[in-house]
Structure 1
Amino acid sequence: MGVDLLNVKGLSGLDRAAPVVMVNLMRFRARSLDGDGSGWDAYVRYSALTVPMIKARGGTLLWTGNAETVALGEADGQQWDYIALVHYPSVNAFIDMMTSADYENLCDPHRRNGCERHVIIATREAYSKLKLG
């Protein structure tokens, strides 16, 4: 994603110390832009580097799954391959990771190579059966 795509204005409007769950929607390229396998293969390389960075900041990967189909609403423009829910102890922890040199130089190239489209939605818990934090 890199700093250039971060919605700094939107993130600055959030309570930066509050926990957040990031909903990741991903559509993969048929072939990785670096020529090393599929978009999925590049995403697996990205995940292998990113998950330890998330954990180092007190976050955790809550859930991942294949996006099957749009069940309600317009399907146009809503074709996704994969969804991941990632909990961070604070918005600041997310921003710290996303703006770190390690993320920018080591992780993000794999994400860009593998993802045709990647959207992250910051969410605030309203109800959950999960015990977080």
Structure 2
Amino acid sequence: MTIINREPAMAIEPTEAQLLANLTGDARTTPIIAMNLLKYWPDAQYPDDWTGPRGTGREAYGRYGIVAMQTFTRLGGRIVAAGPVQGVFVGGQGDEGWDDFVAVHYPSRRVFEAMLADPVYQASHVHRHAGLERSVVLFCGAGFVAG
């Protein structure tokens, strides 16, 4: 199995501190939007012993995305916006280079937690890990959500 060095700036999974800060307390019952910024590997980075389909990082992430969307939709979540990142208008060095964004509305952080606990969703993470070079997920207050 190939081990990919994931420096903190290139992480694709939350740290324990991030989980505790974002999935505890009164905020668990309020709606959120998870704003995902995505940077794909040119070629999917599956483990050496992987026998399934490979392809590009975007294709691998797409396999994860199908399962994620089925899971959060079943739980009451929905995509409110998605598409290619066209550039950084305001930001510092290192903010550039994102491929896509996906904004997902969750009725509550509890729904987000339920998605994380779903065994089928968990199994799909092999594709997320293979597809993403780096990612940032921002939790945003739902405020006004059109449509």
TM-score by length of 1: 0.85
The partner residue of 2:64 within 46, 52, 58 is 46
Asked whether the 8 Å contact 2:71–2:115 carries over to 1, the reply is: yes
How big is the shift at 1:8?
Answer: 1.5
Q: Which runs of 5+ in 1 are unaligned?
A: none
Aligned amino acid, residue 29 of structure 2? A
How big is the shift at 1:33?
Answer: 1.2
How big is the shift at 1:73?
Answer: 2.2
Report percent identity of matched pairs: 25
Report whether the alignment pairs 1:80 with 2:94: no
Partner of 1:102: 120
Partner of 1:130: 146
- Distance in 2 between residues matched to 1:82 and 1:129, nearest whole Å: 20
**Cα RMSD (Å) of the superposition?**
2.2
Report whether the alignment pairs 1:23 with 2:29: no
Asked whether the 8 Å contact 1:3–1:98 carries over to 2, the reply is: no
Q: Which runs of 5+ in 2 are unaligned?
A: 1-11, 47-52
CA 1:3–1:80: 2 relative to 1, 3 Å: closer
For residue 76 of structure 1, give the secondary structure of its aligned residue in structure 2: coil
Asked whether the 8 Å contact 1:2–1:104 carries over to 2, the reply is: no
Asked whether the 8 Å contact 2:39–2:98 carries over to 1, the reply is: yes
- Distance in 2 between residues matched to 1:101 and 1:129, nearest whole Å: 29
